[in-house]
Amino acid sequence: MDTTIIKSTIEKIIKDIPQGYFFDSHTIISILIKEYSDVYLGFVREFPNPNSDGLTLAVHGQIGIIIKEFDGALVEKQEPLSWSENIHNNFTKCACWRKIV
């Protein structure tokens, strides 16, 4: 799976967040869906078994892993986790980040 486009898009989203601000993985996913839907859907299409019940979890888990690649360079992981609304309008836990650069 080529993740070059999604990685560069996530990096752009992170760079647009003001320094010192907190955000969570749901924020990045929401921005991807609303402002970069073609990139998001292209990324989703690369996953096997697109009709699988666990597709959303797998895709969003991979997006979280991509965000983590910027830990220490653009962002700093925070503890505890964030509790925020996901794309299904349910509140769930997810990683919380602080923009450091």
> Can you give the pLDDT of all 101 residues of the chain as single tens digits?
789 999 999 999 999 999 999 999 999 999 999 999 999 999 999 888 766 668 888 999 999 999 999 999 999 999 999 999 999 999 999 999 999 99
Q: How many domains does the chain have?
A: 1
Domain that holds residue 44: 4-99
Q: Given phi > 0 = left and psi -120 to 50 = alpha, else beta, which region is 95? A: beta
C-beta atoms surrounding 67 within 10 Å: 26
**What type of residue sits at position 77?**
K
Q: What is the pTM of this model?
A: 0.92
**Sheet containing 22-24: order of strands:** 22-24, 91-99, 75-85
